[in-house]
Amino acid sequence: MEERIYRNIWKEIGISDAQVEERLSQLISTFFYDEKERLYFPVGDDMAYIEDTGNNDARTEGVSYGMMLCVQLDMKEEFDRIWKWAKTYMYMEEGENEGYFAWSCQTDGTKNSYGPAPDGEEYFAMALFFASHRWGDGEGIFAYEKEAKELLRACIHKGENGRPGEPMWNRENKQILFVPGSPFTDPSYHLPHFYELFAKWAYEEDRPFWAEAAKVSREFMKKSSHPKTGMSPEYAEFDGSPVTKVFEWGRHDWFYSDAYRTAANIGLDYAWFQTDVGQTQAVSRLQYTLGVVNKENPYMTYEVDGTVLDQEALHPVGLLATTAEGSLAVLKKPLDLDLQQLAGNFLEDRSICESDEERLALWWIKTFWETTLRTGKRRYYDNCLYMFAFLALAGKYRIW
Protein backbone atom coordinates (compact mmCIF):
# COMPACT_ATOMS: atom_id res chain seq x y z
CA MET A 1 0.00 0.00 0.00
CA GLU A 2 1.23 3.49 -0.82
CA GLU A 3 2.65 5.59 1.99
CA ARG A 4 0.09 8.00 3.36
CA ILE A 5 0.62 11.24 5.22
CA TYR A 6 -1.84 11.82 8.05
CA ARG A 7 -2.20 15.45 9.03
CA ASN A 8 -1.95 16.42 12.67
CA ILE A 9 -4.34 19.37 12.75
CA TRP A 10 -3.56 19.95 16.41
CA LYS A 11 0.07 20.57 15.55
CA GLU A 12 -0.91 22.75 12.59
CA ILE A 13 -2.71 25.14 14.96
CA GLY A 14 0.20 25.33 17.39
CA ILE A 15 -0.58 22.59 19.92
CA SER A 16 2.59 20.66 20.73
CA ASP A 17 3.07 16.93 20.33
CA ALA A 18 3.59 16.71 24.10
CA GLN A 19 0.24 18.38 24.75
CA VAL A 20 -1.52 16.06 22.31
CA GLU A 21 0.06 12.96 23.84
CA GLU A 22 -0.79 14.11 27.35
CA ARG A 23 -4.43 14.68 26.37
CA LEU A 24 -4.60 11.34 24.58
CA SER A 25 -3.20 9.54 27.61
CA GLN A 26 -5.90 11.12 29.75
CA LEU A 27 -8.60 10.16 27.26
CA ILE A 28 -7.48 6.53 27.13
CA SER A 29 -7.32 6.35 30.91
CA THR A 30 -10.83 7.74 31.31
CA PHE A 31 -12.46 5.81 28.46
CA PHE A 32 -10.98 2.41 29.32
CA TYR A 33 -9.92 2.35 32.96
CA ASP A 34 -11.44 5.08 35.15
CA GLU A 35 -13.67 3.31 37.67
CA LYS A 36 -16.33 6.01 37.50
CA GLU A 37 -16.30 7.14 33.87
CA ARG A 38 -15.03 4.22 31.77
CA LEU A 39 -17.02 2.53 29.03
CA TYR A 40 -14.81 -0.57 28.81
CA PHE A 41 -15.66 -3.36 31.22
CA PRO A 42 -13.50 -6.52 31.44
CA VAL A 43 -15.24 -9.87 31.95
CA GLY A 44 -13.24 -12.73 33.44
CA ASP A 45 -9.75 -13.38 32.13
CA ASP A 46 -10.24 -12.82 28.41
CA MET A 47 -13.38 -10.85 27.50
CA ALA A 48 -14.74 -7.29 27.76
CA TYR A 49 -17.59 -5.18 26.45
CA ILE A 50 -18.31 -1.52 25.79
CA GLU A 51 -21.41 -0.36 27.64
CA ASP A 52 -24.04 2.05 26.41
CA THR A 53 -24.37 3.68 29.81
CA GLY A 54 -27.50 5.56 28.81
CA ASN A 55 -29.37 2.35 28.02
CA ASN A 56 -27.47 -0.11 30.23
CA ASP A 57 -26.69 -2.52 27.41
CA ALA A 58 -23.92 -3.43 24.99
CA ARG A 59 -24.55 -2.62 21.34
CA THR A 60 -22.75 -3.67 18.19
CA GLU A 61 -22.28 0.05 17.54
CA GLY A 62 -20.22 0.58 20.69
CA VAL A 63 -18.56 -2.84 20.76
CA SER A 64 -17.29 -2.40 17.19
CA TYR A 65 -16.30 1.20 17.97
CA GLY A 66 -14.29 -0.11 20.90
CA MET A 67 -12.47 -2.53 18.61
CA MET A 68 -11.68 0.25 16.13
CA LEU A 69 -10.33 2.45 18.92
CA CYS A 70 -8.17 -0.40 20.21
CA VAL A 71 -6.61 -1.19 16.85
CA GLN A 72 -5.88 2.49 16.25
CA LEU A 73 -4.32 2.77 19.73
CA ASP A 74 -2.35 -0.50 19.43
CA MET A 75 -4.23 -2.08 22.34
CA LYS A 76 -4.30 -5.72 21.24
CA GLU A 77 -5.30 -7.30 24.55
CA GLU A 78 -8.33 -5.04 24.87
CA PHE A 79 -9.22 -5.61 21.20
CA ASP A 80 -9.13 -9.39 21.59
CA ARG A 81 -11.19 -9.25 24.78
CA ILE A 82 -13.92 -7.18 23.10
CA TRP A 83 -13.92 -9.35 19.97
CA LYS A 84 -14.25 -12.56 21.99
CA TRP A 85 -17.19 -11.09 23.94
CA ALA A 86 -18.87 -10.11 20.65
CA LYS A 87 -18.37 -13.54 19.11
CA THR A 88 -19.43 -15.32 22.31
CA TYR A 89 -22.60 -13.37 23.06
CA MET A 90 -23.62 -11.27 20.03
CA TYR A 91 -22.87 -13.54 17.09
CA MET A 92 -25.77 -15.54 15.68
CA GLU A 93 -25.10 -19.00 14.25
CA GLU A 94 -28.62 -19.94 13.15
CA GLY A 95 -31.88 -18.50 11.93
CA GLU A 96 -32.63 -15.66 9.55
CA ASN A 97 -29.77 -13.57 10.88
CA GLU A 98 -27.06 -16.24 11.10
CA GLY A 99 -23.70 -14.73 10.27
CA TYR A 100 -24.66 -11.38 11.82
CA PHE A 101 -24.43 -9.95 15.34
CA ALA A 102 -27.38 -9.17 17.63
CA TRP A 103 -27.42 -5.39 17.87
CA SER A 104 -28.17 -5.22 21.62
CA CYS A 105 -27.26 -7.49 24.52
CA GLN A 106 -27.54 -7.14 28.26
CA THR A 107 -24.19 -6.70 29.95
CA ASP A 108 -24.30 -10.35 31.06
CA GLY A 109 -24.42 -11.34 27.38
CA THR A 110 -28.14 -12.15 27.13
CA LYS A 111 -29.49 -11.01 23.76
CA ASN A 112 -32.08 -8.23 23.91
CA SER A 113 -32.78 -8.67 20.21
CA TYR A 114 -32.01 -11.14 17.46
CA GLY A 115 -31.87 -8.38 14.87
CA PRO A 116 -28.61 -6.85 13.61
CA ALA A 117 -27.62 -3.25 12.82
CA PRO A 118 -25.40 -2.76 9.76
CA ASP A 119 -23.25 0.02 11.23
CA GLY A 120 -21.89 -2.51 13.72
CA GLU A 121 -21.03 -5.04 11.02
CA GLU A 122 -19.10 -2.57 8.86
CA TYR A 123 -17.04 -1.41 11.86
CA PHE A 124 -16.40 -5.02 12.93
CA ALA A 125 -15.12 -5.86 9.45
CA MET A 126 -12.90 -2.79 9.13
CA ALA A 127 -11.42 -3.19 12.61
CA LEU A 128 -10.68 -6.86 11.90
CA PHE A 129 -8.87 -6.08 8.66
CA PHE A 130 -6.79 -3.45 10.44
CA ALA A 131 -6.01 -5.90 13.25
CA SER A 132 -4.85 -8.48 10.73
CA HIS A 133 -2.52 -5.99 9.07
CA ARG A 134 -1.23 -4.41 12.27
CA TRP A 135 -0.77 -7.49 14.46
CA GLY A 136 -1.04 -10.52 12.19
CA ASP A 137 -3.64 -13.28 12.25
CA GLY A 138 -4.07 -15.82 15.00
CA GLU A 139 -6.11 -19.00 15.29
CA GLY A 140 -9.87 -19.52 15.39
CA ILE A 141 -11.81 -16.29 15.89
CA PHE A 142 -8.49 -14.42 15.98
CA ALA A 143 -7.88 -15.19 12.30
CA TYR A 144 -8.96 -11.59 11.83
CA GLU A 145 -8.81 -11.36 8.03
CA LYS A 146 -10.92 -14.47 7.47
CA GLU A 147 -13.48 -13.26 10.01
CA ALA A 148 -13.73 -9.91 8.19
CA LYS A 149 -14.13 -11.51 4.77
CA GLU A 150 -16.79 -13.92 5.96
CA LEU A 151 -18.74 -11.14 7.61
CA LEU A 152 -18.68 -9.02 4.45
CA ARG A 153 -19.75 -12.05 2.41
CA ALA A 154 -22.79 -12.40 4.64
CA CYS A 155 -23.55 -8.68 4.39
CA ILE A 156 -24.01 -8.75 0.62
CA HIS A 157 -24.85 -12.40 -0.16
CA LYS A 158 -27.37 -13.52 2.45
CA GLY A 159 -30.55 -14.64 0.73
CA GLU A 160 -28.62 -16.14 -2.20
CA ASN A 161 -27.97 -19.83 -2.96
CA GLY A 162 -30.32 -21.05 -0.25
CA ARG A 163 -28.69 -19.06 2.55
CA PRO A 164 -31.45 -17.67 4.79
CA GLY A 165 -31.95 -14.02 5.56
CA GLU A 166 -31.51 -10.65 3.91
CA PRO A 167 -28.39 -8.69 2.91
CA MET A 168 -27.28 -5.52 4.70
CA TRP A 169 -26.71 -3.71 1.40
CA ASN A 170 -29.20 -3.25 -1.39
CA ARG A 171 -27.60 -5.33 -4.13
CA GLU A 172 -29.08 -3.19 -6.90
CA ASN A 173 -28.23 0.34 -5.77
CA LYS A 174 -25.24 -0.64 -3.53
CA GLN A 175 -26.52 1.38 -0.55
CA ILE A 176 -26.26 0.20 3.03
CA LEU A 177 -29.63 -0.47 4.66
CA PHE A 178 -31.00 0.63 8.01
CA VAL A 179 -31.55 -3.05 8.84
CA PRO A 180 -31.27 -6.10 6.54
CA GLY A 181 -33.96 -6.02 3.89
CA SER A 182 -35.28 -2.55 4.76
CA PRO A 183 -36.38 -0.23 1.93
CA PHE A 184 -34.40 2.77 3.22
CA THR A 185 -31.00 3.74 4.57
CA ASP A 186 -29.30 5.75 7.32
CA PRO A 187 -26.99 8.49 6.00
CA SER A 188 -24.61 8.12 8.94
CA TYR A 189 -24.04 4.45 8.04
CA HIS A 190 -22.44 5.41 4.70
CA LEU A 191 -18.67 4.93 5.01
CA PRO A 192 -17.10 5.21 1.53
CA HIS A 193 -13.62 5.24 3.07
CA PHE A 194 -14.28 1.76 4.46
CA TYR A 195 -15.72 0.50 1.19
CA GLU A 196 -12.61 1.67 -0.72
CA LEU A 197 -10.61 -0.66 1.50
CA PHE A 198 -13.13 -3.50 1.35
CA ALA A 199 -12.67 -3.24 -2.44
CA LYS A 200 -9.00 -4.14 -1.88
CA TRP A 201 -9.33 -6.75 0.88
CA ALA A 202 -12.70 -8.52 0.67
CA TYR A 203 -13.07 -11.81 -1.20
CA GLU A 204 -12.00 -11.09 -4.77
CA GLU A 205 -15.41 -11.72 -6.30
CA ASP A 206 -16.92 -9.08 -3.99
CA ARG A 207 -14.41 -6.33 -4.65
CA PRO A 208 -16.24 -4.70 -7.61
CA PHE A 209 -19.35 -4.37 -5.43
CA TRP A 210 -17.44 -2.46 -2.75
CA ALA A 211 -15.69 -0.21 -5.27
CA GLU A 212 -19.08 0.79 -6.65
CA ALA A 213 -20.51 1.19 -3.13
CA ALA A 214 -17.81 3.74 -2.32
CA LYS A 215 -18.79 5.88 -5.33
CA VAL A 216 -22.49 5.52 -4.59
CA SER A 217 -22.07 6.53 -0.95
CA ARG A 218 -20.16 9.72 -1.73
CA GLU A 219 -22.88 10.76 -4.14
CA PHE A 220 -25.49 9.84 -1.55
CA MET A 221 -23.74 11.96 1.11
CA LYS A 222 -24.07 14.93 -1.22
CA LYS A 223 -27.74 14.23 -1.99
CA SER A 224 -28.84 13.50 1.57
CA SER A 225 -27.33 16.67 3.05
CA HIS A 226 -29.67 19.67 2.92
CA PRO A 227 -28.46 22.14 0.25
CA LYS A 228 -28.65 25.09 2.64
CA THR A 229 -27.93 23.71 6.13
CA GLY A 230 -25.76 20.67 5.37
CA MET A 231 -27.89 18.65 7.80
CA SER A 232 -28.77 15.06 6.99
CA PRO A 233 -31.71 13.15 8.46
CA GLU A 234 -31.36 10.08 10.64
CA TYR A 235 -33.14 7.86 8.10
CA ALA A 236 -33.29 8.58 4.38
CA GLU A 237 -34.82 7.19 1.22
CA PHE A 238 -32.39 5.96 -1.39
CA ASP A 239 -32.69 9.32 -3.18
CA GLY A 240 -31.44 11.10 -0.04
CA SER A 241 -34.76 12.58 1.07
CA PRO A 242 -35.82 12.12 4.70
CA VAL A 243 -37.96 9.13 5.65
CA THR A 244 -41.08 10.88 6.94
CA LYS A 245 -42.77 7.80 8.40
CA VAL A 246 -43.08 7.95 12.19
CA PHE A 247 -42.00 4.61 13.63
CA GLU A 248 -43.12 3.02 16.88
CA TRP A 249 -39.79 4.18 18.30
CA GLY A 250 -40.26 7.73 17.02
CA ARG A 251 -39.51 10.08 14.14
CA HIS A 252 -36.21 10.05 12.27
CA ASP A 253 -36.55 12.64 9.53
CA TRP A 254 -34.74 15.24 11.63
CA PHE A 255 -31.13 16.18 12.36
CA TYR A 256 -30.67 14.21 15.55
CA SER A 257 -28.20 11.87 17.23
CA ASP A 258 -27.50 9.34 14.45
CA ALA A 259 -27.13 12.08 11.88
CA TYR A 260 -24.26 13.82 13.67
CA ARG A 261 -21.88 11.14 12.43
CA THR A 262 -22.31 12.09 8.78
CA ALA A 263 -20.03 15.14 9.04
CA ALA A 264 -17.35 13.06 10.77
CA ASN A 265 -17.59 10.41 8.05
CA ILE A 266 -17.17 13.03 5.34
CA GLY A 267 -14.13 14.41 7.15
CA LEU A 268 -12.38 11.07 7.64
CA ASP A 269 -13.18 9.93 4.10
CA TYR A 270 -11.54 13.07 2.73
CA ALA A 271 -8.55 12.71 5.05
CA TRP A 272 -7.93 9.18 3.78
CA PHE A 273 -8.78 9.49 0.08
CA GLN A 274 -9.06 13.20 -0.88
CA THR A 275 -12.04 12.48 -3.11
CA ASP A 276 -14.64 15.22 -3.37
CA VAL A 277 -17.78 14.90 -5.47
CA GLY A 278 -19.47 17.80 -3.68
CA GLN A 279 -20.12 16.07 -0.36
CA THR A 280 -17.50 18.11 1.52
CA GLN A 281 -19.56 21.29 1.07
CA ALA A 282 -22.13 19.82 3.45
CA VAL A 283 -19.66 20.21 6.32
CA SER A 284 -19.14 23.93 5.71
CA ARG A 285 -22.90 24.46 5.49
CA LEU A 286 -23.44 22.54 8.71
CA GLN A 287 -20.70 24.43 10.54
CA TYR A 288 -22.25 27.72 9.42
CA THR A 289 -25.79 26.69 10.40
CA LEU A 290 -24.71 25.58 13.85
CA GLY A 291 -21.86 28.00 14.54
CA VAL A 292 -23.12 31.22 12.98
CA VAL A 293 -26.89 31.07 12.50
CA ASN A 294 -27.35 29.34 15.88
CA LYS A 295 -24.15 30.46 17.60
CA GLU A 296 -25.93 31.38 20.85
CA ASN A 297 -26.90 27.74 21.41
CA PRO A 298 -26.02 25.34 18.60
CA TYR A 299 -26.67 22.19 20.64
CA MET A 300 -30.36 21.80 19.88
CA THR A 301 -32.57 19.49 17.84
CA TYR A 302 -33.29 20.61 14.27
CA GLU A 303 -35.39 19.92 11.24
CA VAL A 304 -33.00 19.30 8.36
CA ASP A 305 -33.91 22.71 6.92
CA GLY A 306 -32.44 24.30 10.06
CA THR A 307 -35.66 24.98 11.94
CA VAL A 308 -34.80 24.88 15.63
CA LEU A 309 -37.03 22.63 17.73
CA ASP A 310 -37.79 23.09 21.41
CA GLN A 311 -35.59 20.19 22.46
CA GLU A 312 -31.93 20.20 23.44
CA ALA A 313 -29.53 17.82 21.73
CA LEU A 314 -29.33 14.55 23.65
CA HIS A 315 -25.61 14.32 22.82
CA PRO A 316 -24.12 17.83 22.64
CA VAL A 317 -20.50 16.73 23.01
CA GLY A 318 -21.00 14.20 20.22
CA LEU A 319 -22.44 16.93 18.01
CA LEU A 320 -19.43 19.14 18.70
CA ALA A 321 -16.92 16.34 18.12
CA THR A 322 -18.32 15.18 14.79
CA THR A 323 -18.76 18.72 13.48
CA ALA A 324 -15.14 19.45 14.38
CA GLU A 325 -13.92 16.21 12.76
CA GLY A 326 -15.72 17.22 9.58
CA SER A 327 -13.21 20.08 9.33
CA LEU A 328 -10.78 17.60 7.77
CA ALA A 329 -12.85 17.98 4.60
CA VAL A 330 -12.77 21.79 4.77
CA LEU A 331 -9.12 22.52 5.63
CA LYS A 332 -7.69 21.02 2.48
CA LYS A 333 -4.27 22.72 2.72
CA PRO A 334 -1.73 22.45 5.57
CA LEU A 335 -1.74 25.22 8.18
CA ASP A 336 1.05 26.85 10.13
CA LEU A 337 -0.60 28.69 13.00
CA ASP A 338 0.03 29.58 16.60
CA LEU A 339 -2.85 28.88 18.97
CA GLN A 340 -2.67 32.52 20.06
CA GLN A 341 -3.83 33.50 16.58
CA LEU A 342 -7.10 31.72 17.33
CA ALA A 343 -7.88 33.85 20.36
CA GLY A 344 -10.69 36.39 20.54
CA ASN A 345 -12.81 37.01 17.44
CA PHE A 346 -10.36 35.52 14.94
CA LEU A 347 -13.18 34.69 12.50
CA GLU A 348 -12.73 38.11 10.91
CA ASP A 349 -8.95 37.84 10.56
CA ARG A 350 -8.22 37.08 6.91
CA SER A 351 -4.50 36.72 7.62
CA ILE A 352 -5.27 33.38 9.27
CA CYS A 353 -7.09 31.77 6.33
CA GLU A 354 -8.37 33.16 3.08
CA SER A 355 -11.88 31.77 3.32
CA ASP A 356 -14.64 32.22 5.84
CA GLU A 357 -15.28 28.47 5.68
CA GLU A 358 -11.73 27.65 6.76
CA ARG A 359 -11.78 30.07 9.68
CA LEU A 360 -15.11 28.68 10.83
CA ALA A 361 -13.72 25.13 10.63
CA LEU A 362 -10.86 26.29 12.87
CA TRP A 363 -13.35 27.70 15.34
CA TRP A 364 -15.00 24.28 15.64
CA ILE A 365 -11.62 22.59 16.10
CA LYS A 366 -10.53 25.07 18.77
CA THR A 367 -13.87 24.70 20.58
CA PHE A 368 -13.47 20.93 20.52
CA TRP A 369 -9.94 21.13 21.96
CA GLU A 370 -11.31 23.23 24.82
CA THR A 371 -14.01 20.63 25.59
CA THR A 372 -13.55 17.56 27.77
CA LEU A 373 -15.14 14.12 27.63
CA ARG A 374 -18.73 14.01 28.81
CA THR A 375 -19.38 12.64 32.29
CA GLY A 376 -22.40 10.88 33.75
CA LYS A 377 -25.00 8.45 32.53
CA ARG A 378 -25.32 9.68 28.93
CA ARG A 379 -21.58 9.76 28.23
CA TYR A 380 -21.33 6.64 26.02
CA TYR A 381 -22.26 7.96 22.56
CA ASP A 382 -20.65 11.37 23.07
CA ASN A 383 -17.36 9.92 24.25
CA CYS A 384 -17.09 7.35 21.48
CA LEU A 385 -17.50 10.15 18.95
CA TYR A 386 -15.09 12.34 20.93
CA MET A 387 -12.37 9.67 20.83
CA PHE A 388 -12.69 9.19 17.07
CA ALA A 389 -12.63 12.93 16.41
CA PHE A 390 -9.58 13.49 18.59
CA LEU A 391 -7.66 10.70 16.88
CA ALA A 392 -8.69 11.85 13.40
CA LEU A 393 -7.60 15.45 14.04
CA ALA A 394 -4.32 14.18 15.49
CA GLY A 395 -3.58 12.12 12.37
CA LYS A 396 -3.89 8.96 14.48
CA TYR A 397 -7.01 7.45 12.88
CA ARG A 398 -5.22 5.54 10.16
CA ILE A 399 -5.44 2.87 7.49
CA TRP A 400 -3.59 -0.22 8.68
- Please tell me the distance from the alpha carbon of residue 301 to that of residue 286, in angstroms, as a whole number: 13
- Please tell me the distance from the alpha carbon of residue 132 to that of residue 400, in angstroms, as a whole number: 9
Active-site residue, selected from the candidate residues 186, 258, 269, 357: 258
Regarding beta strands 308-312 and 47-50, do their DSSP bridges make them parallel or antiparallel, or are they unpaired?
unpaired
From 372, 313, 363, select the one nearest 339 (Cα to Cα): 363
- Please tell me the distance from the alpha carbon of residue 43 to that of residue 38, in angstroms, as a whole number: 14
DSSP state letter for 229: T
Query: What's the start-to-end Cα distance of the chain, in Å?
Result: 9
**CB 383 within 8 Å of CB 26:** no
DSSP run (H or E) holding 126 = helix 118-135
Q: Return the bridge partners of 105, or none.
A: 58, 111
Active-site residue, selected from the candidate residues 12, 51, 57, 61: 61
- In the residue annotation, 34 being an active-site residue is answered as no
Q: Return the bridge partners of 130, or none.
A: none
- In the residue annotation, 258 being an active-site residue is answered as yes
* 252 HSE (CA, 13 A, CB side): 20
Residue 90: is it exposed, middle or buried by C-beta count within 10 angstroms (0-12/13-18/19+)? buried
Q: Return the bridge partners of 269, or none.
A: none
**Looking at the chain, how many residues does it have?**
400
DSSP 139-167: SGGG-HHHHHHHHHHHHHHTTSTT--S--
- Please tell me the distance from the alpha carbon of residue 218 to that of residue 40, in angstroms, as a whole number: 33
Q: Is residue 246 classed as helix, strand or coil in its secondary structure?
A: coil
What are the two backbone dihedrals, phi and then psi, of residue 351, each rounded to the nearest 5 degrees? -75, -20
Regarding beta strands 47-50 and 40-43, do their DSSP bridges make them parallel or antiparallel, or are they unpaired?
antiparallel
**CB 71 within 8 Å of CB 400:** yes
Residues tagged active-site: 61, 258
